[in-house]
A and B are shown apart, each in its own frame.
Chain A
Amino acid sequence: MTDRVSAQPTDPDEDLLVRVAGRDREAFEAFYDRFEKRAFSLAYRVTGDRSQAEDVVQEAFFSIWKNAARYDPARGSAGAWALGIVRNRAIDVLRRRASRTPELDHDDDAALESRASALKTEEQALQREEGREIRSKLSELPENQSRVIGLAFYGGFSQTEISDLLELPLGTVKGRMRLGMEKLRVELSSGKGEEA
């Protein structure tokens, strides 16, 4: 049996995906092992429910198994691609859950509370992460910036929806999102510089 992974270690994840596209079960299992924990953690962060998070991971990885040939290295790393699929599946779960709750009514606090199930998940997730030892890069941002970014990425809310949820002008939400992302990116660059 050839061993392309060990022979070409420049990007083992990408190499594994190439083999998965050829329906290589062993490569898929190796790829799964590399991402299982990260995928589950992300899915749980989004859904706030272990059972749903596991269903998300199962569906996402089966999709990866079926669609590995669609991965395009030019559009990002294999890991980012895989975790993107996990995130999208998890957001789908959130949206299905939210669709079963009443529509948002600005004048009805109860409806707002009920509709924003994903928002509650966001808050619960933030609470869960309080006290954990690893340092969240998002939490290092100003709270008003991290909140809108978290609602978008982990809650699946659009800028307009966030504007409604937080009762902020749309321009304010856009500005906070842009500033927060730019700051996050700059800090990543400076962090890499220190490591180097």
Chain B
Amino acid sequence: MNRGHEKFKEQLPAYLLDALGPGERSDLEHHLGGCAECRAELAWLEPASEVLADDVAQLEPSPELKSRVMAAVDADLAANPASPSDTSAVAEPRRVKRPRPERPGWLAGLLRPAVLGAATAALVLGIALGVVLGSGDDSPQAPARAVITGQSTIGADAVMVASDGTGTLKMTHLKRPDEDQVYQAWIQRGQEIEPTDSLFVPNRDGSAVASIPDLDGVTAVMVSAEPKGGSEQPTTAPVVSVSLPG
């Protein structure tokens, strides 16, 4: 076997560990294309690198991480509706549901000034800016798309993108909640305030996305800081609110 082959074969462990320089890597990949022995050796070695990914102390991430990941996916689904062949992904975007609350009485409590107070009145009852943009698509099937600017009591910027009956609330400059809190999105239908599954903490740059899967009849979307795990009814005043056009 020639010297070049032996050199490449010896580089295979480093290749799997991503420890070769760019030139070495390129040369080795070129060699692999024509060397069955090295490909076989690489396939044999591969589990050694794969096991390293799991060879670490197993730790639990924060409960909010999944919410952040799924919110990003929901935002993508809302912003980029699926093709006709996979409309199921859009038609049924949320499968995991928290138990729906029995809330015959808490709505009244929620709307009391002690809970939402003047902030709610100011935010929910009419400070929405309501910039509605058409989709620019005349197709009868094209979903109506609206971009609505919201309000914040803590200096955040909030924009709701409503499309095809779902909404994506995008926020920036959102400060992190207290350590034992997450943000939770709420929707208002008529006089009722309903919780959503959107629990999140902002990214390090202050950005956050909350998904609202069903905007039917929704007149406002709000965000408040809640204990980790979320609440069945708001326990603090909303920090972000978007009023939707009727």
Contact = CB atoms under 8 A, between A and B. Distances in A.
A113 interface: no
Interface residues of A, number: 65
Interface residues of B, number: 52
Interface string A146-185: 0001001110111110100000000000100110111011
Contacts of B85: 22
B50 interface: yes
A152 B93 contact: no
Contact of A184 (B21, B51, B56): B51
Main secondary structure of the interface of A (DSSP, over half): helix
A62 B72 contact: yes
Contact of A28 (B11, B50, B53, B73): B73
A42 B95 contact: no
A76 B50 contact: yes
Contact of A159 (B20, B77, B89): B20
B57 A134 contact: yes
11 contacts: A25-B73, A33-B66, A36-B65, A58-B65, A76-B50, A136-B56, A138-B55, A153-B49, A159-B14, A181-B16, A182-B45
Interface of A: 1, 22-26, 28-29, 32-33, 36-38, 40-42, 44-45, 50-51, 53-55, 57-58, 61-62, 65-66, 76-77, 80, 83-84, 86-88, 91, 125, 128-129, 132, 134, 136-138, 149, 152-154, 156-160, 162, 174, 177-178, 180-182, 184-185, 188
Interface of B: 10-11, 13-14, 16-21, 44-62, 65-66, 68-70, 72-74, 76-77, 82, 85-86, 88-90, 92-96, 203-204
